[in-house]
Amino acid sequence: MKKLSIVLILALALFGGETNESLGAKIYTKHGCYGCHGIDAGGSATYPKLAGKSAYYIRRRLHGYKKGTIHSGRSDIMRPFAQSLSDEEIKILAEYLKNLGHKKKSDEDRYYEEYEIGDSSGS
């Protein structure tokens, strides 16, 4: 029991702050990007993978869709989503998606998943 509370305190300290990473995840969720590209941005048979692509590439593509300068077969699908993003949001998303591909799960992450500890108990 003592061990558990130590882990909880540690977890709260680690996940309490608003980092660019959690901000990136929020923007990704808020705009419904996961609906096509997947919750882990891993893509599918019909939609491209985003996780792990270079931030520069992702920014270029999103600005291109936003301005309407990309005319690929399915760019019309992306345009309204890109247009709903501010330039600042594009920057944060690009960093977030780049890092997703390389992120190794920490022990804390695995602990969270295994025991399904949410943040509802926090103050």
CA distances from 25 to 5, 22, 50, 68, 115 (A): 27, 5, 13, 25, 21
Min dist CB 82 to ligand HEC, Å, is: 7
Does residue 81 bind ligand HEC (CB under 6 A)? yes
- Alpha-carbon torsion 52, 102, 30, 17, what sign? negative
Please identify, using beta-carbon distances, which residue of 67 and 110 lies nearer to ligand HEC.
67
Instruction: Answer for the pair 47, 37: CB distance below 8 angstroms, yes or no.
Output: yes
Does residue 31 bind ligand HEC (CB under 6 A)? yes
Does residue 58 bind ligand HEC (CB under 6 A)? yes
Residues 33-52 that bind ligand HEC (CB under 6 A): 33, 35-37, 47-48, 50
Backbone torsions φ then ψ of 42, nearest 5 degrees: -85, 0
Please identify, using beta-carbon distances, which residue of 25 and 93 lies nearer to ligand HEC.
93
Does residue 92 bind ligand HEC (CB under 6 A)? no
